[in-house]
Structure 1
Amino acid sequence: MLVNVTKDSLVNALQHVLKAISVNSPMPILAGINIQANANGLIFTASNTSMTIQYRIPQDNSSMTVQRTGGIVVPARYFNEIIRKLNAGLVTFEMNENLILTITSENSQIRLCGMDSADFPSIHFSDHHSSNKIQINNALLKSAIKQVAIAASTSETRPVLTGVSFEFNGASLNLVATDGIRLASRTLHIGKSANTSTNVIIPGRNLFEVHKMLSDEDDITEIEVGTNQIRFITNELQVQSALIEGVYPSIQNVIPQSYLSEVTVETSSLLHAVERVAILAGESIIRLVATTHKLDLLSRTAEIGDVQDEVPLTEMIGEDFIISLNGKFFIDILRCMDNEYVRLRFTGKASPIVILPADARLSTLFLITPVRTHN
C-alpha cells in the first residue's frame, strides 16, 4: 500500500467509522480500523457485533491518490490520535510486508504495527428480497429518526423495546418506538410503491448514529433490508446494522382514539417554560394545569424550592385539566417537534397525554404516560 491523502479527508472518514469501534470487544481485531486501498479509493471500515460502518475517500488526484494497493488493520485509538495531531496537508501511508504502516507528514514519521486485513470479519449482506429497497431524502430521514428514536428503551429487560419498529408497506414508511412510558410514531410517505412489505426492528442506538452521520440533507439515502440486517447507503458512507429478533408490540390499542380536552400552544414558549420548571422538579415530575387562557407549569423539590411558570394558550377545546408528567421526557419530545405550535390532548387522569404538531398534515405523534401523585 502506498497512498497520499489529505489530513482533512482522513479526519472526516474517522469521524464516521469510529462510531462502530468496540471498546471491550472479545476480538482484538475489532478494536482496529480496516484500511483498504484499491482502484476505487481508500476505504475505512470499523465493526462491532451490532453495527458496521464503511466510509470511502474516492481517488481524485487532488485530495487522495492510490499509488499501490493493499490493506491493513490499525489500532483505532492510536491511529486516530496520530492523525488528529498531524499538521494540515498531505499524509502518506506506506505499508511493508511485515504489516508495518509508515505514516509520513512533513517532518513527522510514525511507524504503526498493524494486523492482517484478511483476518478482519468480512462484510456480508444477505438479501433474499432484493425488492426491499427504498430511497428517501436525508432531511426527511434525519427528522424522523430524531423524533422517534428518543422513545426507544435503554433497558435490556425487553430487547425489542430497545429498537425502533421499521415498517415499510407500499408507499409509506412507519417508524415507532416506545419504552412503556412514552411512545413516538411517525409515518413518511415515500411516493414509490413496492411489491413487498417489510417489518423489522432496528436497534435504537444504531439508528441514532445513522441520524448523526447523514450530513447532506439534500441527498438521498438508499435503505436495503436483508435477512437479518439493514443497510443505509448515501454518497461515500455505508452503515450496516443487525436487526433485533422478535415481534414489536402493536400500538393500535395504545393510542387514545378520543380526548376530553385539547390545548394548542407555541412550541418554543412551552419548551422554555418546561426547561425552567424542570430545574427544581423532584424525580423529574412537573405538573401541568390547563385553564381557559393559560397553561400553568409547576414543580418543587423538598428543602430546595419550587417553580411556577405559565404560557398562554392559542386555543383550548374542552374542560380544564391537571396532569403530572416526567419533565425530562417532555423536554425531549418538544425539542424535536418540527412545528411552530404543538397540541396537547388530555385523555383522562390515568391515560396517556397525546402530543401532536398543530399542523394536521404532519404525521408525528407522541404519548407520555402520566405520573400518579398524592395531590
Structure 2
Amino acid sequence: MLVQIRKDTLINAVQHVLRAVAVNSPIPILQGIDIHAGTDGIILTASNISMTIQYKIPQDNVSTTVQRAGAVVIPARYFYDVIRKLNNEVVVLELKDKLVLTVMSGGSRVSLCGMDSTEFPSLNNEELYSKRMQINNLMFRSAIKQVAIVASTSETRPVLTGVFFECDNDSLNLIATDGIRLAYQNLHNKNSSNDNFKAIIPAKNLYEISKMLIDDDVTTEIEVSGNRIQFKASGLKVQSALIDGTFPSIKNVVPKSYLCEILVNRIGLLQAVECVTVLASESVIKLVADPNKLKLLSSTAEVGDIENEVSLMEMLGDGFNISLNGKFLIDILRNCDCTSLRLKYAGKNNPIAVLPNDSGISTLFLITPIRTHT
C-alpha cells in the first residue's frame, strides 16, 4: 500500500468511523480501523459488531492518490492521535512489511503495528437488503433527535432500548418508549419505493448515525434485511444490528379524548421547568393550569420550595393539576423543533400529551403522571 492524502481529508474520514470502534472490546481487531486502498480510492471501516461504519474516500489525484493497493487494520486511537498532531498538510501511508503501516508527513515518520485485514468483520452482502426507502437528511435527523431521547437505557427489556421503524409505502413511523415516556413521529416519504417493513434499531446507534448526516439537502437510503439495517449517504455506509422482539403497540396508550388543552411558548415553559426542577425532590414537579397561566411548583424537605408561572397563549376546557418527572419533561422540551406546543390533559391517571403546535409536524410525546399525596 502506498497512499498520498490530505491530512484534513483523512481526519474527516477517521472521525466518522471512530464512532464504531469498540474501545474496550476483548477482540483486539475490533479496536482498530480497517484501511483498504484500491484503484478507486480508500475505504476505512470500523465495527463493534452492533454497528459497522464504512467511509469511502474516492481517488481524485488531488487530495487523494493511491499509488499501490493494499490493506491493513491499525489501532484506531493511536492512528487518530498521530495524524491529528502531524504539522504537514499531506500525509503518506505506506505498507511495506505485511502488517506495519508507516505514516509520513513533513519531518515525521511513525510506524504502527497492524493486524490482518482479512480477519476484520465485513459488511453484509448488498444483495441481502430487499427492502429500501430514501429520506431527506434534515427530516430524518430531526426525527431521531426527538424520538430516540425517550428510549430506555435499561437492558431489562431490550426492545425498549431501540426505536421502532414502521415503513408503510410513503410513510415512516418512528416510535420509542421507556415505559414512562413515549415519543412518536410520522414522516411522509416522497421517495417511496412501495416497500413495507418493521424494525427495531438500537437508539444509541441511531444517535451516532444522525451525527454523521450533516448535509441537509442530501437523502439517505435505508435498506433492511432480516437482522440488519443499512444507511447510505455521500460515501458513508452504516450497518446496524436489529433488536429481536416485538415492540409494544401504542394503540391503547394514546388517550382518545382530553379534558383540557393549553397552548404555551416552548422556550418559556422549558425555562420554567428547568427552574423548578432544581428543588424538585426525586425530580417531581407539579403543573397547575388555571385560566391565562400555568403554575409550576416543586419542593424538597428541609431545603425549600419554588414556584414559577408561564403565561398561556390559549386554554380549552377546565384546568388541571398533575405531577410528573421534571427531568423527563425537560428532555422533551429541549428536543422539540417548534416555537409553541400544546399540552393535553386526559385525566389524573392518564398520560399527558405534548404536541408541537405546527400542522406540518406529526409528533406526539406522552408522559405518565406521578401519583402524589397533594
Q: Give your verdict on TM over 0.5.
A: yes
- What is the alpha-carbon distance in structure 1 between the residues aligned to residue 223 and residue 213 of structure 2? 16
Q: 3-state DSSP class of the match of 1:351?
A: coil
Alpha-carbon distance, 1:272 to partner: 1.3
- What is the alpha-carbon distance in structure 1 between the residues aligned to residue 275 and residue 123 of structure 2? 48
Q: State the match for 2:224 in structure 1.
A: 225
Q: Deviations over 1:252-302 (max 9, x none)?
A: 100001011000001111111111222222211111111000011112222
Checking the alignment, whether the CA contact within 8 Å between 1:170 and 1:192 is kept in structure 2 is no
Q: 3-state DSSP class of the match of 1:122?
A: coil
Residue type of the alignment partner of 1:373: T
Residue type of the alignment partner of 1:221: T
Q: State the match for 1:103 in structure 2.
A: 103
Q: State the match for 1:6 in structure 2.
A: 6
Q: State the match for 1:83 in structure 2.
A: 83
Query: Percent identity, aligned pairs only?
Result: 59
- What is the alpha-carbon distance in structure 2 between the residues aligned to residue 79 and residue 56 of structure 1? 17
Residue type of the alignment partner of 1:341: S
Q: 3-state DSSP class of the match of 1:150?
A: helix
Q: 3-state DSSP class of the match of 2:204?
A: helix
In angstroms, what is the RMSD of aligned CA positions?
1.3
Alpha-carbon distance, 1:126 to partner: 6.2
- What is the alpha-carbon distance in structure 1 between the residues aligned to residue 54 and residue 154 of structure 2? 28
Q: State the match for 1:159 in structure 2.
A: 158
Alpha-carbon distance, 1:193 to partner: 4.0
Alpha-carbon distance, 1:128 to partner: 4.7
TM-score normalised over the length of structure 1:
0.97
Checking the alignment, whether the CA contact within 8 Å between 2:134 and 2:192 is kept in structure 1 is no
Alpha-carbon distance, 1:75 to partner: 0.6
Checking the alignment, whether the CA contact within 8 Å between 1:127 and 1:227 is kept in structure 2 is no
TM-score normalised over the length of structure 2:
0.97
Q: State the match for 1:211 in structure 2.
A: 210
Q: Deviations over 1:2-47 (max 9, x none)?
A: 1111111122112111111112223210011000111221111000
- What is the alpha-carbon distance in structure 2 between the residues aligned to residue 369 and residue 104 of structure 1? 58
- What is the alpha-carbon distance in structure 1 between the residues aligned to residue 303 and residue 63 of structure 2? 58
Q: How does 1:24-103 map to 2 (within 5 A)?
A: 24-103=24-103
- What is the alpha-carbon distance in structure 2 between the residues aligned to residue 48 and residue 30 of structure 1? 6
- What is the alpha-carbon distance in structure 1 between the residues aligned to residue 56 and residue 128 of structure 2? 26
Alpha-carbon distance, 1:191 to partner: 2.4
Matched, 1:170 2:169: yes
Q: 3-state DSSP class of the match of 2:246?
A: coil
Q: State the match for 1:342 in structure 2.
A: 341
- What is the alpha-carbon distance in structure 1 between the residues aligned to residue 354 and residue 257 of structure 2? 13
- What is the alpha-carbon distance in structure 1 between the residues aligned to residue 219 and residue 192 of structure 2? 17
Q: State the match for 1:263 in structure 2.
A: 262
| Worse overlay, 203-212 or 116-125 | 116-125
- What is the alpha-carbon distance in structure 2 between the residues aligned to residue 148 and residue 72 of structure 1? 38
Q: 3-state DSSP class of the match of 2:150?
A: coil
Q: Deviations over 1:179-220 (max 9, x none)?
A: 100000000010244443101111111111111111111111
Residues 129 and 74 from structure 1, CA distance in 2 versus in 1: closer, same or farther, beyond 3 angstroms? closer
Q: 3-state DSSP class of the match of 1:370?
A: coil
Residue type of the alignment partner of 1:172: S
Q: State the match for 1:356 in structure 2.
A: 355
Q: Deviations over 1:292-324 (max 9, x none)?
A: 000111122222222211110000011111111
Checking the alignment, whether the CA contact within 8 Å between 2:228 and 2:242 is kept in structure 1 is yes
Q: State the match for 2:373 in structure 1.
A: 374
Q: 3-state DSSP class of the match of 1:338?
A: coil
Matched, 1:124 2:120: no
Residue type of the alignment partner of 1:116: D
- What is the alpha-carbon distance in structure 2 between the residues aligned to residue 57 and residue 213 of structure 1? 15
Matched, 1:288 2:287: yes
Residues 5 and 223 from structure 1, CA distance in 2 versus in 1: closer, same or farther, beyond 3 angstroms? same
Q: How does 1:268-279 map to 2 (within 5 A)?
A: 268-279=267-278
Q: State the match for 1:321 in structure 2.
A: 320
Residue type of the alignment partner of 2:354: I
For these two proteins, the number of residue pairs brought into alignment is 374
Residue type of the alignment partner of 2:11: V
Residues 22 and 295 from structure 1, CA distance in 2 versus in 1: closer, same or farther, beyond 3 angstroms? same
Q: State the match for 1:184 in structure 2.
A: 183
Q: 3-state DSSP class of the match of 1:253?
A: coil
Alpha-carbon distance, 1:88 to partner: 4.2
Residues 335 and 88 from structure 1, CA distance in 2 versus in 1: closer, same or farther, beyond 3 angstroms? farther
Q: 3-state DSSP class of the match of 2:362?
A: coil
Checking the alignment, whether the CA contact within 8 Å between 1:126 and 1:227 is kept in structure 2 is no
